[in-house]
Amino acid sequence: MNLEGFFNPQSVAIVGASRQKGKVGYEILANMLEAGYRGKIFPVNPKADEIEGLECYKDIESLPETPDLVVIIIPAKFVAGVMKQCAKVKAKSVIIITAGFREVGKDGMTLENEVIRIARQAGIRVIGPNCLGVIVPGNKLNASFGGDLPASGGIAYLSQSGALLAAILDTANANGIGFSTLVSIGNKADVDELDIIEAVAEDGDTKVIAGYLESITDGNTFVREAERISYIKPILLMKSGGTEAGAVAASSHTGSLAGSEVAYESAFERSGIIRCNSIKQQFDYAQAFANQPLPAGARVAVITNAGGPGIMAADAIEREGLTFAKLNEGTIQKLAEKMPAAANLLNPIDVLGDALADRYEYALDVVIDDNNVDAVLVLLTPQAMTESAKTAEAIVRITRQKPTKPVFACFLGAAKVREGVDILRQGNVPLYDSPESAVDTIEAMVHYVQWRSRPRRVVKLFGVNRRKVENIVERHLRQGILDIGEAESKDILEAYGFVTPKGAIATTADQAANIAQQLGYPVVLKIWSPDILHKSDVGGVKVGISSEQEVRDAFDLMMYRIPRKKPDAHILGVLVQEMCRKGKEVILGMHRDPHFGPLMMFGMGGIMVEVLKDVSFYLAPLTAQEAKQMLISTKTYKILQGVRGDEGVDIERIAEGLQRLSQLVTEFPQIKEMDINPYVVGSPGTTPIAVDARISLEK
């Protein structure tokens, strides 16, 4: 999408430009001038002849030419009128700084809708309203009231919060971090997060895309396009609002365990987005992605002048699942030629506390050439002999001479390392305040490389009976019944290749006994009612029944007790069902997220899913690899594999069940949520059984 008018305008009109310092209209004009903007600036203010030496115009129609960009900073009630003028002069790019729209309630929403209606009729793109503005350091454009123009760099930043963007800008300026673009998207009435991400993805100056979001406009499109862009450039996002206390109650296990936070995590994982938990972590990652090559693998070498920080780095490397690089013999021999006898030549390479800059430089020069090393972390503590500035210069020099592997620096301390810290920042070497932060960044880069290297996603389609499912779903929706009973839920599952236990519904104790006799003992009895979702909560499930008399007793007890516990429930009878004799119980489920669609779930089944809450989620449709990864992601995966002589279960059949369920819920968007619980899985080669199922629909 072409947003050139926002990022590289040749002329800018500022509607609401003010002569009064401290007002937003003045600050934006002053920021434009102070940044050294090279294009034309047209202040628009009917009450002024000139501001800061620039001729003032009474309105947009009075301008000598149509501006490439219009920045609006006037009260909300007047914005629609200015938009009509923009449409009349054929302006195409507008930033609405003004607040007082959707964020303030119904009246503001009405104003915002009117503004966007005018814009769309005229083909005008709008950033905002209620935003900070746009900054493009390379073009000397500071159409914002966020502060000083930052240095140019490889980071593009977008933010839904203007205040947060101002804080980020201030932090970046204090630490010399450069940007290609900064955009405050505000209410996202027109241009949204995906529009900006797509635009900066095509920008040659942008190496990494970062941002802060509170919501995503179109989840499905976002995931699809972000996945495409992530193969080209890394995307680092902070996302807030994921712990909403007022989550909508759900009837299924999957629905009760899934929330917006889970959906966003799954969406980010699918699309390759790197989730950041803080501004600091985001900057830690961004400076590395923007200034260093990607690591070829997970093997890390550490160079240090003190044992303690080296051990801290080693611990962090192990915790993050990275590998401590094993130096080859040639590297060790070269190090031995110039290192003191007391130096540790194995990883971590301890150059000792009296190391001067030349010793650091030699060690880094040698280690970076080792083909067993994918990334190097250089640690420095300020000791009596330490040359902070010269060591920093040496690190910068080597990284420029040999820019094939990423190098990270951690200079511990404050005043004594300040000069070295400044040199590293100017030399674009990623700098961290602790070994753990540096290793965390390396892990993020390694994970991104692994994500980018994953096999092409291929979703398998199974032969199914869609017509049978269509008939059941359409009949329920036509009758206004949104909860599908167990029998028809199993019919749906059977249509998609699942095997369910044999059984039938009994309305008398005699019928129950006859059905049990035909099925063979042991059997299971379940209360049969569309109004009772959790049967075990009301004593509606009895397992392991092994005689005719037990069947009769269990039937009579259920039909006597349950109507008293649930007097409003419509009880149709009791399901008599064959009992699965052997296997482990797992749960397969789906909850349809309003933003991202079907969210698949896997975990240990039965009542354990609520007790352990050890579940994994992933967006449908699933590939075979993704289904398998859902199993591996749980803490209880080893139980499924088999431990201490216990035979494991058929992992591949569970993964296939997830894929079949994924196909079902993808092909039938009317299914809102569902569980197969328990899904009993036996040893390899045996057939899993969908013992119980629950399906809820939405119109």
Whether residue 447 sits in one domain with residue 478: no
We report the CATH number of the domain holding residue 381 as: 3.40.50.261
Based on the domain organization, do 631 and 691 belong to the same domain?
A: yes
d(CA 252, CA 590): 9
Give CA–CA dist 28/15, Å, rounded: 11
Tell me the pLDDT of the chain averaged across its residues: 93
Place 456 in a pLDDT band, splitting at 50, 70 and 90: confident
Mean pLDDT of 448-470: 95
What are the structure tokens assigned to 664, written together?
């079902």
Residue 539 burial (10 A CB sphere; 0-12, 13-18, 19+) = middle
Same domain, 18 and 88: yes
**Co-location of 63 and 168 in the same domain:** yes
Would you give the distance in Å from CA 372 to the centre of its chain? Answer: 32
What local confidence, expressed as pLDDT, does residue 175 receive? 87
DSSP 531-591: T-S-GGGGT-EEEEE-SHHHHHHHHHHHHHHHHHH-TT----EEEEEEPP-S-EEEEEEEE
Q: Tell me which of 578, 597, 615 is where a domain ends.
A: 578
CATH number (domain holding residue 498): 3.30.1490.20
**576 Cβ contact list (under 8 Å, min separation 6):** 503, 504, 505, 506, 512, 515, 516, 519, 523, 524, 525, 551
Q: Tell me if 479 is assigned to some domain.
A: yes
Identify the three-state secondary structure at position 617: strand
Residues 21 and 121 in one domain: yes
pLDDT number for residue 260: 74
pLDDT reported for residue 261: 83
Question: Is the model's pLDDT at 692 over the cut of 80?
Answer: yes
- Reply yes or no on whether the pLDDT at 461 is more than 90: yes
Number of H helices, E strands in the chain: 24, 31
pLDDT above 50 for 652: yes
Q: Dihedral through CA 317, CA 321, CA 322, CA 325, nearest 10?
A: 80
What pLDDT digit, counting tens, does each position of 115-124 carry? 999 999 999 9
Return the sign of the alpha-carbon dihedral for residues 294, 295, 301, 306.
positive
**Contact between 352 and 342 (Cβ < 8 Å):** yes
Among 614, 657, 660, residue whose Cα is nearest residue 633 = 614
In a domain, 448, yes or no: yes
The secondary element (H helix, E strand) that includes residue 299 is: strand 299-304
Residue 370, domain member (yes or no): yes
- Judged by phi (left if over 0) then psi (alpha if -120 to 50, else beta), residue 359 lies in alpha
Q: Within this chain, do residues 542 and 412 fall inside the same structural domain, yes or no? A: no
Buried b (16+ CB within 10 A) or exposed e, 557-589: ebbeebeeebeebebebbbbbbbbeebbbbbbb
List the Cα angle 237/602/687 in 5-degree steps.
Answer: 150
**pLDDT reported for residue 270:** 95
> Which two structure tokens, joined as six digits, stand for 324?
């401590």
Backbone dihedral angles phi then psi of residue 610, each to the nearest 5 degrees: -80, -30
Task: For residue 266, tell me if it sits in a domain.
Answer: no
Same domain membership, residue 81 and residue 156: yes
Domain annotation covers residue 558: yes
Beta strand 274-275 with 208-213 is: unpaired
As for how many domains the chain has, the answer is 4
Q: What is the distance between the alpha carbons of residues 319 and 420, in angstroms, rounded to a whole number?
A: 29
Percent of the chain with pLDDT over 70: 96
- pLDDT score, position 645: 67
3-state secondary structure of 631: helix
Same domain, 40 and 189: yes
Spatial separation of the C-alpha atoms in residues 679 and 656, rounded to whole Å: 12
Q: Is the pLDDT of residue 606 over 80?
A: no
Q: What per-residue string of b and e applies to 251-275 under the rule 16 or more CB within 10 Å gives b?
A: bbbbbbbbbbebbbbbbbbbbbbbb
Over residues 577-594, the mean pLDDT reads 89
Q: Is residue 442 a part of any domain in this protein?
A: yes
- Would the pTM of this model clear 0.85, i.e. be above it? yes
Nearest Cα residue to 148 out of 23, 30, 22, 283: 30
Q: Is residue 553 part of a domain?
A: yes
**Among positive and negative, which fits the CA dihedral 511, 517, 519, 520?**
positive
- The whole-number average pLDDT for the span 144-169 is 94
Task: Report the candidate in 286, 336, 261 with the shortest Cα–Cα distance to residue 158.
Answer: 286
pLDDT confidence bin for 586, thresholds 50/70/90? very high
Q: 104-117 burial, b for 16+ CB within 10 Å, e for fewer? A: eeeebeebbeebbe
Q: Is the pLDDT of residue 244 over 60?
A: no
Residue 641 lies in domain: 584-697
Asked if residue 503 and residue 395 are part of one domain, the reply reads no
DSSP 456: P
d(CA 330, CA 345): 11
Residue 448, pLDDT > 60, answer yes
Q: Are residues 571 and 682 in the same domain?
A: no
Amino acid at 529: S
CA–CA distance, 633 with 619 (Å, rounded to integer): 14
- 227 is a domain residue: no
Would you place residue 250 in the very low, low, confident or very high pLDDT band (cuts 50, 70, 90)?
Answer: very low
* pLDDT at 635 exceeding the cut of 90: no
**pLDDT for position 183:** 97
**Can you tell me the mean pLDDT for 681-696?**
91
Where is the domain boundary, 427, 452, 477? 452
Based on the domain organization, do 22 and 124 belong to the same domain? yes
Tell me the per-residue pLDDT of 517-543, one tens digit each, with 9 for 90 and over.
Answer: 999 999 999 998 888 877 888 999 999
Q: What is the pLDDT of residues 272-315, one digit of tens each?
A: 999 999 999 999 999 999 999 999 999 999 999 999 999 999 99
Residue 331, pLDDT > 90, answer yes
User: 551 and 624: one domain?
Assistant: no
Q: Confidence band (pLDDT; 50, 70, 90) for 636?
A: confident
Give the residue from 407, 427, 452 where a domain finishes: 452
CATH code, 599 = 3.30.470.20
Sorting pLDDT into bands at 50, 70 and 90, what band is 245? very low
Backbone angles phi and psi of 141, in degrees to 5: -105, 120
Report pLDDT digits (tens) over 19-70: 999 899 999 999 999 999 999 999 999 999 999 999 999 999 999 999 999 9
- We report the CATH number of the domain holding residue 18 as 3.40.50.720
